[in-house]
Chains A and B, each alone.
Chain A
Amino acid sequence: MKISQIKELLDAQVVCGEENLSKHVYSACGSDMMSDVLAYVKDQAVLLTGLVNAQVVRTAEMMDMICIVFVRSKQPTKEMIELAKEQGLVLLTTKKRMYEACGKLYVNGLVGNGEMHD
């Protein structure tokens, strides 16, 4: 799935990284606990979260993710946007809640890590 498709499915706004919307992603994860993302995530390129602080961007960078979707209309701070731009990350923001946003992406083929290795 292209990141541009995620934008459409979630009716999301692009905060930054417009130039990378054509990149392909194959799996995603949703979490507000960065500790869990660091512990359990493997090879997911997209992070859905309702958490807003600089460590969300750093966690994504550490995990080699390329897109963060902020759910529940959360808006990343100026500092987060600068960090994301430095790393070439796409930041999206959607009005949808976490459950619905994950569900929309899942039924359209963006799986979690488990399914990728089944």
Chain B
Amino acid sequence: MSTDLSETVRCMTEGLQFHFDVDGDNFTSAGQASVQVKKNLRQLGIPPETIRRVSIAMYEGEINMVIHAGGGTADVYVNESSIVIVLDDTGPGIPNIEQAMQEGFSTAPDTIRSLGFGAGMGLPNMKRYTDEMQIESTVGVGTKITMKVNL
């Protein structure tokens, strides 16, 4: 998690990039970007298991952005060796990343739980399904999550 992925992201700009604006006002539309990425990766002939890992990790991140940060941006970079997902928001930030990474820890309101999310599995899942994950977060400024899945 402490791995610096900024160099990787710089290299990735030479490959394919998909950019999405994630609408923070509409829980119903959350996940649209992940569905699109899944389609794009299928067209590129990426192995199904890799596609599943990428799309689940991105979907969890997208849901998190909608629940906690009022939306943000999602960028996916694809090259020959890996897929990198960068999720950027200007939400409230994560005060204690270590605590947030614990399975079951959640600050989601009951309204979100009643929709089937907010069980404190989002960030742990994102880590579980990716090979590398880095969280940069400043309270009151926002959060940037970079995840890498090797091909």
Q: Which residues of A contact B (CB under 8 A)?
A: 32-36, 38-39, 49, 51, 53-56, 58-59, 61-64, 79
Pair A79/B28 contact, Cβ less than 8 Å:
yes
Which of chain B's residues 3-37 have a Cβ closer than 8 Å to chain A? 27-31, 34-35
Which residues from B are CB-within-8-Å of A55?
27-28, 30-31, 63, 115-117
A58:B124 contact, CB within 8 angstroms: no
| Contact, CB under 8 Å: B38 / A53 | no
B125 touches A53 (CB 8 A): no
Q: List 19 A-B contacts (CB under 8 A).
A: A33-B119, A34-B115, A35-B120, A35-B122, A36-B121, A38-B60, A39-B103, A39-B121, A39-B125, A49-B116, A53-B115, A54-B28, A54-B31, A55-B30, A55-B63, A55-B115, A55-B116, A62-B34, A63-B52
Where the two chains meet, the residues of B that have a C-beta atom closer than 8 Å to any C-beta of A are 27-31, 34-35, 38, 48, 52, 55-56, 59-60, 63, 103, 115-122, 124-125, 128
**Nearest-CB residue, chain A, relative to B62:** A58
Residues of A with C-beta under 8 A to B63: 55
- Complex CA distance for A55 and B59, rounded to whole angstroms: 10
Given A55-B30, A79-B28, A62–B115 Cβ distance below 8 Å?
A: no
- CB neighbours (8 Å) of B34 from chain A are 58, 62
Contact A34 to B117, CB < 8 A, known contacts A55-B27, A55-B31: yes
